[in-house]
Amino acid sequence: MLLTERERLHDELAELVTRYGRDRSSLLFILQEVQRRHYHISQYAMQVIADLLDIHPVEVHSVVSFYSFLDERPQGQFVIRLCRTITCDMAGKDHVARQLENDLGIKFGETTPDGKFSLDWANCLGMCDRGPALLVNQQVHTQVTPEKVHGILQECRQTFGVHATSDGRETRT
Amino acid sequence: MAKPTPTAGVSTRAPASQRSRTAEMLQHAKAMGKTIEVAIDGSPIAVPLGTSILEAAGQLGIRIPTLCYHEDLCLAGVCRVCVVEIEGQRTLQAACSYPISSPINVKTHTSKVRRARRHIIDLLLSSHVGECYTCSRNQSCELRELAAEYGVDFFRFGHVQKPRYEIDASSHAVVRDMNKCVLCRRCIRTCIDLQEVGVLEALYRGNRSKVGTFLDRPLADVVCINCGQCINRCPTGALRANDPTDEVWDAIDDPRKHVLIQTAPSPRAAIGECFGLEPGHAVTFELNTALRRCGFDRVFDTDFSADLTIIEEGVELLLRLKRALVDGDASVALPQFTSCSPGWVKYVEHFYPERLAHLSSAKSPQQMFGALLKTYYAQINELDPRDIVTVALMPCSAKKFECNRPEMCASGHKDIDYGLTTRELAKMIHEAGIDLLKLPKSGFDDPFGTATGSGVIFGATGGVMEAALRTVVELVTGLKIEKLFDHADVIPVRGFEGIRYAELPISQIGPVPELVAHLFDNWDFLKDVTLKVGVAHGTANAKRVMEDIKAGGRFSQCHFIEFMACPGGCLGGGGQPSPTSPAIRAARA
Ligand code: SF4
Ligand code: SF4
Ligand code: FES
Ligand code: FES
């Protein structure tokens, strides 16, 4: 990373710390915000946050590694998490999974080379009565079929070029 | 008696034990801040509100097994080995972390409790790579003891055989084998809360969770100061010191090698514990005999070089004071910090690099002795330094790191070849079939056999500084003083428990003694100077003092501060016998 880029990140984190408070209880808010903006929390970011909050870097790493929605490695702008728990499994999650892999050209656990999409598994999303269910960032889609996958991806792609935000709408399709 | 709280109007589906208990506590509001009568296994006892069941039971002499609980550490309540039954409650409660807030009736070994404990132990064993024969802790493993106590005679939930993790032996001091870890988090609480170094934390989640370092790096690559406090508090063999006993035996067995050992005072005060003695019995002279029988060619007393360190540090302090007071040199790094605790030195290097100049430039007693042996001693005994193997018995795991520091070979040879901890030497003595306690006494070898007595208190905290100051006062005033602190004003510092501060006015000055006549013309600059000194042990305390210095507080005005990385100084070192507790450390002093 270029020095200037680091400096920019440092200033950004300092600003976040000021906003949420210089206290270890602000950690999660700060991490969520960093994840939202940068699609991951880099080693350097973890160190800077620890320094600014006066805690140990390993404590930040501990929190980041604990939560599935915080990532150490860069994720795509859209992280698609397909439920693999029993009800969705019985409702045909395998077909949906195959379709996602085909359309994106990546396997689960991978990110597209352009950094737009990541595929991952999730456990029960609480939508068992309307499985298979998946999450696109924070937006839930239920009763997903292989046919619907194309539309879901298309909807994501439309936001590129404009201001891609990972703020999901709370609507359910 | 715990009764489900009738919450008016709200019907709740939560089981009785999980319903809000606030109303019930109010019922006993009169007891708030006072004592509460409880019964444990039928014995009544009155305890202050908030006492844990474990503490209350302890007062009654009832033992409840524990694993994640440790006297030195904050509560975690994660292992559940200490579960007990409380009459009227549906679920079992963890005795270590259940604060008594109402009159309860506790049963500590009902069949429900015993079955639950057994299951918990079975579950712990199912993912623990137990190879007890080859384990460094096979005599002192708390998990093995629990299994024996609860009659575990088969592996109900299986038993992993294949290691999941690579052993991290990158550090000179601490070896981590996470296959034996039971996730009690004692090491984490030691490193983060007790020592405030912050190397270890729990990483990941669920069945992937493990104790790790920042980014899961090897221990040698992170800020670990090698204090070994985590080793002393680990209940299993997951953490151990990097053990060079095989190399030491090889050197002893090699007829060409002249193997020398120096022993520090603290291990001599504690090694008896490995042979069944109560803490607090020094076996210095029996140990000398044992070491000779093991095959060491000479046995020396580290006190000798401790005296050298003290003189060097004392004179260095005088020189710094002269530069500051006579030459008016504002760049002189004062207060001067002691440098004999290698954990503390590494702590400064990582966390306060801007203060490195404050560290005394004197080598630690261990390293001074090594350098002497490979130069002066080799010369007078007409030995080739390459044939000399120097071993140091230390209470410390950081000493292993120190002797491997690349700069510690000014003589062209490694000053100290191997650092042994108290535990490792005890193992060697056992291995040689020697019954330490029955041995005749024998003295140390010459020419290094005469120490002054300053060195003997090196191990207890306050020792280095006290001895160095005594030297300073002796040089300056020409007076001998027995107990420095009888002459000094020990001023209590509020908010700094475990940290000492004292002022010592220099009321008279004498002539400059021969020894330092080439360095000083007179002592006029010290006339009416009040020496201000501090002592801090444990890196958490050291951090307090360093922050105080940064903020320009009382300690920034000090002239000399002694720091030690371990709580309780060397007597509580990371190489001392396990287990450790405040009582054991006090007894060793
Ligand atoms: S040796 Fe000391 S600093 Fe290193 S991990 Fe253990 S407790 Fe922490
Ligand atoms: S390494 Fe030892 S002290 Fe640390 S969590 Fe594991 S068993 Fe407990
Ligand atoms: S099983 Fe998929 S949402 Fe519950
Ligand atoms: S000792 Fe009480 S929960 Fe571990």
Average pLDDT of the segment spanning B115-122: 96
Whether pLDDT at A4 is above 60: yes
Atom 8 in ligand 1: residue holding the nearest Cα: B191
Pairing of β B499-505 and β B530-537? antiparallel
B224 C-alpha to ligand 1 centroid (Å): 5
Tokens of A16: 């976040």
CA distance B358 to A21: 34
Whether pLDDT at B481 is above 80: no
Averaged pLDDT score across all residues of chain B: 87
Confidence bin at B209 (pLDDT 50/70/90): very high
Contacts from A15-18 at CB under 8 Å and sequence distance 24+? A17/A49, A17/A52, A17/A53
Contacts of B192 in chain A (CB under 8 A): 56, 59
The one-letter amino acid at B289: T
Nearest-ligand number for the alpha carbon of B191: 1
Pairing of β B239-241 and β B258-263? unpaired
Is B266 in contact with B463 (CB distance < 8 Å)? no
* Interval B326-339: pLDDT, tens: 888 888 999 999 99
Do residue A61 and residue B215 have CB atoms under 8 angstroms apart? yes
Average pLDDT of the segment spanning B94-119: 95
At residue A159, the pLDDT reads 80
User: By percentage, how much of chain A surpasses pLDDT 90?
Assistant: 85
Do residue B200 and residue A57 have CB atoms under 8 angstroms apart? no
Average pLDDT of the segment spanning A117-136: 94
At residue B122, the pLDDT reads 95
Whether pLDDT at B12 is above 50: no
Averaged pLDDT score across all residues of chain A: 90
CA distance B532 to B226: 30
At residue A122, the pLDDT reads 94
Contacts of B546 in chain A (CB under 8 A): none
Whether pLDDT at A163 is above 90: no
CA distance B446 to B428: 24
Whether pLDDT at B496 is above 80: no
At residue B448, the pLDDT reads 55
Confidence bin at A53 (pLDDT 50/70/90): very high
* Interval B414-467: pLDDT, tens: 999 999 999 999 999 999 999 999 999 998 887 554 555 455 555 555 577 778
Residue for token digits 């969770």?
B209
The yes/no answer on whether domain B326-361+461-575+582-588 falls in CATH 3.40.950.10 is: yes
Contacts of B185 in chain A (CB under 8 A): none
At residue B449, the pLDDT reads 47
Average pLDDT of the segment spanning B517-543: 89
* Interval B269-308: pLDDT, tens: 999 999 989 888 889 999 999 999 999 999 998 888 888 8
Please state whether the peptide bond connecting residue B335 to the residue before it is cis, i.e. omega within 30 degrees of 0. yes
Question: If residue B331 lies in a helix (H) or strand (E), which one and from where to where?
Answer: none
Best of B203, B224, B544, B547 to substitute, by most chain A Cβ atoms within 10 angstroms, is: B203
CA distance A71 to A50: 16
Total Cβ atoms within 10 A of residue A122: 18
The one-letter amino acid at B97: S
Do residue B203 and residue A56 have CB atoms under 8 angstroms apart? no
Tokens of B97: 């972390």
For the entire predicted model, the pTM comes to 0.87
Which residues make Cβ contacts (< 8 Å) with residue A119, sequence separation at least 6? Answer: A80, A82, A100, A101, A104, A106, A107, A108, A109, A110, A111
Domain segments of chain B: what residues? 326-361+461-575+582-588
Whether pLDDT at B380 is above 50: yes
Average pLDDT of the segment spanning B118-137: 92
Whether pLDDT at B1 is above 60: no
Is A109 in contact with A78 (CB distance < 8 Å)? no
CA distance B437 to B286: 7
Whether pLDDT at B27 is above 60: no
Backbone angles phi, psi at B419, to 5 degrees: -105, 125
Q: Is the CB of B120 under 6 A from ligand 4?
A: no
Confidence bin at B585 (pLDDT 50/70/90): confident
* A59: nearest CB among B198, B204, B205: B198
- What's the CA angle centered on B18, arms B12 and B19, to 5 degrees? 45
User: By percentage, how much of chain B surpasses pLDDT 70?
Assistant: 89
Closest by CA position to A80, among listed A128, A120, A107, A39: A120
Within a 13 Å sphere around the CA of B522, how many CA atoms are in the beta-carbon half?
A: 5
A61 contacts chain B (CB < 8 A): yes
Contacts of A43 in chain B (CB under 8 A): 215
At residue B514, the pLDDT reads 84
Whether pLDDT at B241 is above 90: yes
Total Cβ atoms within 10 A of residue B256: 8
Q: Which of B81-90, B205-214, B514-523 has the lowest mean pLDDT?
A: B514-523
C-alpha dist (Å) from residue B579 to B129, B193, B587: 22, 18, 13
Closest by CA position to B378, among listed B368, B367, B389, B394: B389
Confidence bin at B411 (pLDDT 50/70/90): confident
At residue B580, the pLDDT reads 84
B212 contacts chain A (CB < 8 A): yes
At residue B495, the pLDDT reads 56
What is the 8-class DSSP label of residue B376?
I
Residue A143 region, left (φ>0) first, then alpha (ψ -120 to 50), else beta?
left
C-alpha dist (Å) from residue B15 to B86, B98, B111, B115, B267: 15, 19, 22, 22, 54
Do residue B204 and residue A59 have CB atoms under 8 angstroms apart? no
Residue of B nearest to A60 (CA): B214
At residue B492, the pLDDT reads 65
Residue of A nearest to B215 (CA): A61
Chain-centroid distance, C-alpha B535: 16
Average pLDDT of the segment spanning B13-32: 44
* Interval B340-375: pLDDT, tens: 999 999 999 999 999 999 999 999 999 999 999 999
Strand residue runs (E) in A18-173: 78-83, 117-122, 134-136, 139-141
Q: How close, in Å, is residue B349 to chain A by CA atoms?
A: 16
Whether pLDDT at B169 is above 90: yes
Average pLDDT of the segment spanning B104-120: 95
CA distance B362 to B318: 14
Interface confidence (ipTM) of the complex: 0.85
Whether pLDDT at B513 is above 80: yes
Q: Is the CB of B239 under 6 A from ligand 2?
A: yes
Can you list the domains of chain A with their CATH numbers? 3-66 (1.10.10), 78-166 (3.40.30.10)
